[in-house]
């Protein structure tokens, strides 16, 4: 196995993919650890973007202006709603989650994942995370004497 270079585009994408795999494994188990992996994937995506702009094959050509207009209209609606809301601070948090944090997973996937086997691996890791979460919930139920609910 060859040594990875910090700034080689392929190595940046590989690191981003590894961070996405880490995010997939812990996404249902720990919010803090999943945010760490998501942050690392976002940094790798930005590093990749500044090193060499990624090419999204015909993605923006197909959905370009209508999608961009819809996203801007949605963002403007959110800002107007926040201005008239009772708690604008909660609106800023929601704005950050909906338009920065959650879409960063899709952007990192578009930049760092190029093969079908990588997509399948990410899906399998998400399923593994769900199964581990369910097993842990069942274990907690058994520890509580089998009583579920309140």
Per-residue pLDDT reduced to its tens digit, 112-134: 888 888 988 999 999 999 999 99
How far is residue 103's CA from residue 119's CA, in Å, rounded to a whole number?
17
Predicted model pTM? 0.71
Q: Quote the CA–CA distance of 50 and 69 in Å, as a whole number.
A: 25
Asked if residues 129 and 27 have their Cβ atoms less than 8 Å apart, the reply is: yes
pLDDT tens figures, 2-53: 565 666 888 888 999 999 999 999 998 998 999 899 999 999 988 988 888 7
Q: How far apart are CA 129 and CA 124, in angstroms?
A: 9
1-10, 71-80, 84-93, 112-121 — most confident range: 112-121
| Cβ contacts of 140-149, under 8 Å, gap ≥ 24 | none
């Amino acid at each position: 196995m060859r040594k990875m270079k910090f700034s080689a585009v392929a190595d940046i994408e590989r690191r981003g993919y590894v961070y996405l795999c880490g995010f997939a494994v812990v996404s249902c188990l720990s919010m803090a650890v999943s945010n760490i992996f998501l942050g690392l994937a976002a940094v790798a995506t930005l590093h990749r973007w500044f090193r060499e702009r990624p090419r999204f094959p015909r993605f923006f050509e197909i959905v370009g202006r209508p999608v961009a207009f819809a996203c801007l209209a949605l963002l403007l609606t959110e800002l107007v709603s926040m201005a008239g809301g009772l708690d604008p601070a909660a609106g800023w948090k929601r704005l950050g989650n909906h338009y920065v944090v959650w879409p960063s997973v899709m952007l990192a996937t578009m930049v760092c994942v190029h093969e079908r086997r990588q997509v399948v691996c990410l899906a399998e890791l998400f399923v593994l995370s769900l199964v581990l979460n369910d097993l842990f919930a069942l274990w907690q139920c058994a520890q509580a004497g089998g009583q579920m609910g309140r």
